[in-house]
Amino acid sequence: MVEIEDGNVGEKPCVRVMLTISARDLRDVNPSDTLSDPYCVVSITDASMVRTRQWEEIGRTEAISNTLNPDWATKICINYYFEEQQRLLFEVFVKGEDKPRLGEATMLLHEIVGSKYNRLTKHLREDGKHHGEITVVAEELSEGRQESVYFVVSATNLDKKDFLGKSDPFLKIYRINYDETLQLAYRTRYHEQNLNPKWKPFEIHIDQLCYGDRDREFLIECYDWDQIGDHDLIGTCRTTVNRLFSKQDTVLSLINEEKAKKHKKYIDSGQLHFDKIFVWMDFTFLDYITGGTELDFTVAIDFTKSNLPIEDQSSLHHLGGENANQYEMAIMAIGDICQHYNRSKIFKAYGFGAKIPPDTKVHYNFPLWLGRQTSALKGGVRSLS
């Protein structure tokens, strides 16, 4: 966005923030034994426009099966303008057809940012009644390169939680906040009937994991997935990025505190293996350009009959007159940008679907410089007829 003040043009200062959303004590609208599958839709409007307020959706979370206390892993990103009142609407719905809205809450973005720990909780309202609470955390997204941690994790000898003697394990990874509360950073998919699972590799931004502090502990919980949402805790462990990266923690015991209190000979509820750990930087576009990356593009022009003969003024590649045809305009628009990121400033151009004299064969891949040369000698490239 651009604004003009005193004859000068300047961009409004803004910060990119990320919203993490959770809810508690949602109302259950399912008549069956299963719980709701809630998800949250986030919309925004200009808070100063009271009478003509229109909401614009900016994102939505995933649906979590069978729970009334969801911690959504999907993050919502938004530009935060300090001088504007940006009102956000959080609506919690149930996945599926003909399911009611569970409730809504509105917050000003600067309310969230200005709250303690950048965290704000409000009641969800529906039909004039309170139906649970929603909590939103706002965190600034660092500009430029960002550090991420890449995990390849497996487990062995997990406790049997299911009736048939197996478990459906999945992991929840939490950041431990400054006030000792937990914030979900990542959730894996569950492995069905497997006591020795290997989860699909994943990565987490280090700020979401431990505030960017490699020596700050984060929490990992291993659960047995349950269809009705009552997931059974298998065990937990804690570690740090530095301990993982230095291979000090390659295998950690999953401890279930309740089970440890009941059984004196209890050792653990399985082992979590960190098979591979990488710490890498997510570089920006400018980083790549500064490092010497060049942009290139290749043009392919359709000469088939569908584009009409060149002599036809409505043809996409009609030649003549002062105005460029649609192909020329598209090539110039892209080339004018890419040329500044390419030392040679030379780009390849090809055609397809034309007959090139003197033969009558249809060519499906030919360089356009050949077409120009043939045009001078033999009367030009002809569209496929």
Q: Are 128 and 172 part of one and the same domain?
A: no
For Cα atoms 66, 70, 74, give the angle at the middle one, nearest 5 degrees: 115
Whether 262 is in a domain gets the answer yes
Q: Do both 9 and 131 map to the same domain?
A: yes
Residue 7 has pLDDT above 50, yes or no: no
Number of domains in the chain: 3
Instruction: Decide which of 233, 257, 282 is a domain's last residue.
Output: 282
Q: In what order do the strands lie in the sheet with 382-383?
A: 362-363, 354-355, 382-383
Percent of the chain with pLDDT over 70: 88
Q: What is the pLDDT of residue 118?
A: 92
Banded model confidence at residue 215, pLDDT cuts 50, 70, 90: very high
251 and 202 in contact (C-beta within 8 Å)?
no
> Residue 339 carries which side chain, given as an amino acid letter?
Q
Same domain, 32 and 46: yes
Residue closest to 145 by CA, chosen among 4, 343, 282:
282
Same domain? 166 vs 241: yes
Residue range of the domain that includes 317: 294-383
pLDDT for 336 equals: 86
Across the range 336-342, mean pLDDT stands at 86
Segment 224-249 shows an average pLDDT of 90
Same domain, 15 and 135: yes
What is residue 380's predicted lDDT score, i.e. its pLDDT? 42
For residues 149 and 202, give the distance between their C-alpha atoms in angstroms, rounded to a whole number.
Answer: 8
Q: What's the rounded Cα separation, in Å, for the pair 59 and 261? A: 44
Average pLDDT over residues 241-250: 95
β-bridge mates for residue 22, sequence order: 71, 135
Q: Which residues pair with 119 in a beta bridge?
A: 137
Least confident of 272-286, 289-303, 305-319: 305-319
Helix (H) / strand (E) element for 220: namely strand 218-224
User: Of 254, 282, 310, which residue constitutes the final position of a domain?
Assistant: 282
* pLDDT 10s digits, 53-74: 789 999 999 999 888 999 999 9
Check residue 385 and give its pLDDT. Answer: 35
Whether the CB-CB separation of 285 and 317 falls below 8 Å is answered with no
pLDDT class of 370 with cuts at 50, 70, 90: low
Q: Which two tokens stand for residue 321?
A: 């007159």
| pLDDT number for residue 337 | 85
Q: Which helix (H) or strand (E) holds 169?
A: strand 169-176
Instruction: Say what percent of the chain tops pLDDT 90.
Output: 46
Same domain, 98 and 178: no
Residue 223: the pLDDT is: 93
Same domain, 182 and 301: no
Residues 98-157 pLDDT 10s: 778 899 999 999 999 989 999 999 999 998 889 899 999 999 887 666 789 999 999 999
Whether 301 has a pLDDT exceeding 90, the answer reads no
Q: Compute the mean pLDDT over every residue in the chain, rounded to the nearest whole number.
A: 84
- Spatial distance between the Cα atoms of 205 and 193, rounded to a whole number of angstroms: 30
Q: Does the residue 151 lie in any domain? A: yes
Query: Band of the pLDDT at 164, cuts 50, 70, 90?
Result: low
Q: The domain spanning residue 53 has which CATH number?
A: 2.60.40.150
Both 25 and 60 in a single domain?
yes
Query: Quick check: is 289 in a domain?
Result: no
pLDDT on residue 203 = 93
Structure confidence at residue 142 (pLDDT): 74
- 8 and 107 assigned to the same domain: yes
Q: Is residue 288 part of a domain?
A: no
- 230 closest CA partner among 49, 42, 34: 34
Give the pLDDT confidence score for residue 305 in this predicted structure.
77
Q: Is 200 left (phi over 0), alpha (psi -120 to 50) or beta?
A: beta
**Which of 140, 157, 174 delimits the end of a domain?**
140
Closest by Cα among 335, 313, 309, 330 to 322: 313
